[in-house]
Structure 1
Amino acid sequence: MARNEEKAQSMLNRFITMKEEEKKKPKERRPYLASECRDLAEADKWRQQIMREIGRKVTEIQNEGLGEHRLRDLNDEINKLIREKVHWERRIIELGGPNYTKHSAKMTDLDGNIIDVPNPGGRGPGYRYFGAAKKLPGVRELFEKPPELRKRRTRYDIYKRIDASYYGYRDEEDGILVKLEGPAEKKMRAAAVKEWMEMEEIKREAKKAVKSGEVVEVGLGSKILFEEEEDVIEEERMEREREEKDREKEYVVHVPLPDEKEIERMVVEHKKMELLSKYASEDLMEEQMEAKAMLNIQSDVAQQCDEGSA
């Protein structure tokens, strides 16, 4: 009994399915050209159909185990559907519908960053890769960024960035530095005025103490240094520096120098020797030298005798 009921139930199911198919309209085929469509609702319907097909194929292309050839075919089919979708979107705009091209998807690399690949692999402008197709041989290189070469800056590049702000001439343009310097300047000025007033008060007290003959306190006396005393000290220091410089410039002669008389005597002797060597013979020169030697000896003996008698 149960088997007969199952057969009857299956026949009933087939009968119901057949009746439902009879009620349905014949399946419409999408027009080959978008320009053949004259209805905006139908154009939007065909666009939605293309979007569903693209979604199914994009889900399928995520599987890396499909193989290289299948992945390439799926990627080609997806790009073909995208081009067809663009045609229908353009037709929708012509029929007065919304502009769907403003929110079109961008191409991304393996890290998810949006990139612009105008003509990758020679497939024409706008060709895109999806899912596992991005990791295929020859495709991965399209999405890899070339290593950035750090170019050494030249002297021109360094000086090109130097302007007035580099030297601090524009530090006060934003107004922040002026606001910070104002209170600090007032504080420093008040401290300087206070110190000057204290010194003036100390000077007056010291002058009064000196006139009255009182003893000035050590604490006050250590703080007093009049301008006249400072000038005297400065002049003494400058004088010492000048003396030291003059002393360095002096040249000390350690060899005794002849005076004017000695120089004249030496010049006369030199001239005499030149004349004698020119007009006298060698024998005469020798005799003269012997005579001089004897005269020197005699003069020395006479001088000794004079000294002894004295």
Structure 2
Amino acid sequence: MARNEEKAQSMLNRFIALKAEEKKKPKERRPYLASECRDLAEADKWRQQIMREIGRKVAEIQNEGLGEHRLRDLNDEINKLIREKGHWERRIVELGGPNYTKHSAKMTDLEGNIVDVPNPGGRGPGYRYFGAAKKLPGVKELFEKPPELRKRRSRHDIYKRIDASYYGYRDEEDGVLEKLEGPAEEKLRSEAVQEWNRLEEIRREARKSVKSGEVVTMSATAAARELLHEEEEDVVEEERKKEREMMEKLEEKERQFVVHVPLPDEKEIEKMILEKKKMELLNKYVSEGLLEEQSEAKSMLNIQN
């Protein structure tokens, strides 16, 4: 009995399910072309359906254990749905609806930075990678940033950064250097003026003593010696310079070489080289007997060459 009741119950369940299916409207199929849709609400509905499918596939592609082939197929399906979503978004704009492309998501790398992956076909947005597909061989390299090459600065680039402050022409604009150098400059100027006044006083005393014919004291002698110290240094320097020039002249004379034997000029050297080459050729192509006969003939004819 139990089995018959189970069978009846099973058949009843089937009957109820079939009746419920009959009452439902036939499932609408999404149009193949977005241009076939004439209603804005329907176009928005189909766009929402595509976005749900994209969300399911994006969640599925996060699993790295699916394998390389399945990941690539899922990534292709997601890109196909994204292109279809773009068609519907353009159709929504044509029907007077909102523009969803302004707020579309950007492509990011493994670190979350926005990147631009170009489309080889040159149409629409570039091919995108999602989830574990970004770590596939040959794809991971697309998201790796190449190392930045440090460009060597040229001389022109270096000189572009050089201005008046580099040479110290603006050091006094802030007023700090002027405050530090002012007292030191005044001190040096006062010392130089005092030294000049002292020397002028010594000169005047020396002239007075010479004109009056007075006896020169030890202090006057020391003052005159101090006064003439600079002139003596100049004289000594001139004498040293003359001695140095004399020594250089003597060294040049010693370097000169005196030839006691007459040297041949260029013509004689050329003639000797030509005779040497003639003898080498004769020794190479002529026998010794012929050479002896030739020398005897020259001696009989009194020919020198």
Aligned CA-pair RMSD = 3.8
Separation in 2 of the partners of 1:98 and 1:83?
18
Separation in 2 of the partners of 1:52 and 1:34?
17
Report what 2:152 is aligned to.
Answer: 152
Alpha-carbon deviation of 1:159?
A: 1.8
- Within the candidate set 212, 220, 230, 1:245 is matched to 230
Q: What amino acid is aligned across from residue 90 of structure 1 in structure 2?
A: R
Structure 2 CA distance for partners of 1:165 and 1:246, relative to 1, 3 Å: closer
Separation in 2 of the partners of 1:245 and 1:30?
112
Separation in 2 of the partners of 1:228 and 1:20?
118
Separation in 2 of the partners of 1:168 and 1:6?
106
Report what 2:18 is aligned to.
Answer: 18
Corresponding residue SS for 2:236: coil
Report what 2:136 is aligned to.
Answer: 136
Separation in 2 of the partners of 1:74 and 1:34?
23
Alpha-carbon deviation of 1:97?
A: 0.5
Q: What amino acid is aligned across from residue 229 of structure 2 in structure 1?
A: E
Corresponding residue SS for 1:250: helix
Q: For residues 201-232 of structure 1, give each alpha carbon's deviation from its aligned partner in whole angstroms, at most 9, with x where no partner exists.
A: xxxxxxxxxxxxxxxxxxxxxxxxxx999944
Alpha-carbon deviation of 1:23?
A: 1.4
Q: For residues 74-122 of structure 1, give each alpha carbon's deviation from its aligned partner in whole angstroms, at most 9, with x where no partner exists.
A: 1111110000000000000000001000011111111110001113xx4
Instruction: Tell me the TM-score normalised to structure 2 length.
Output: 0.56
Structure 2 CA distance for partners of 1:237 and 1:8, relative to 1, 3 Å: farther
Alpha-carbon deviation of 1:243?
A: 3.8
Separation in 1 of the partners of 2:109 and 2:141?
11
Alpha-carbon deviation of 1:250?
A: 2.8
Alpha-carbon deviation of 1:17?
A: 2.6
- Kindly name which structure, 1 or 2, has the bigger radius of gyration based on alpha carbons: 1
Q: How does 1:1-310 map to 2 (within 5 A)?
A: 10-119=10-119, 122=120, 125=123, 126-163=126-163, 231-236=193-198, 243-251=228-236
Alpha-carbon deviation of 1:245?
A: 2.3
Separation in 1 of the partners of 2:57 and 2:29?
19
Instruction: Tell me the TM-score normalised to structure 1 length.
Output: 0.56
Separation in 2 of the partners of 1:23 and 1:8?
23
Alpha-carbon deviation of 1:46?
A: 0.4
Alignment size in residue pairs? 204
Q: Structure 1 stretches of 5 or more lacking a match?
A: 193-226, 254-310
Report what 2:282 is aligned to.
Answer: none
Q: Structure 2 stretches of 5 or more lacking a match?
A: 184-188, 203-222, 240-305
Structure 2 CA distance for partners of 1:85 and 1:242, relative to 1, 3 Å: farther
Structure 2 CA distance for partners of 1:128 and 1:246, relative to 1, 3 Å: same
Separation in 1 of the partners of 2:132 and 2:10?
43
Q: What amino acid is aligned across from residue 235 of structure 1 in structure 2?
A: N
Q: What amino acid is aligned across from residue 147 of structure 2 in structure 1?
A: P
Separation in 2 of the partners of 1:22 and 1:54?
30
Alpha-carbon deviation of 1:251?
A: 3.3
Separation in 1 of the partners of 2:92 and 2:191?
101
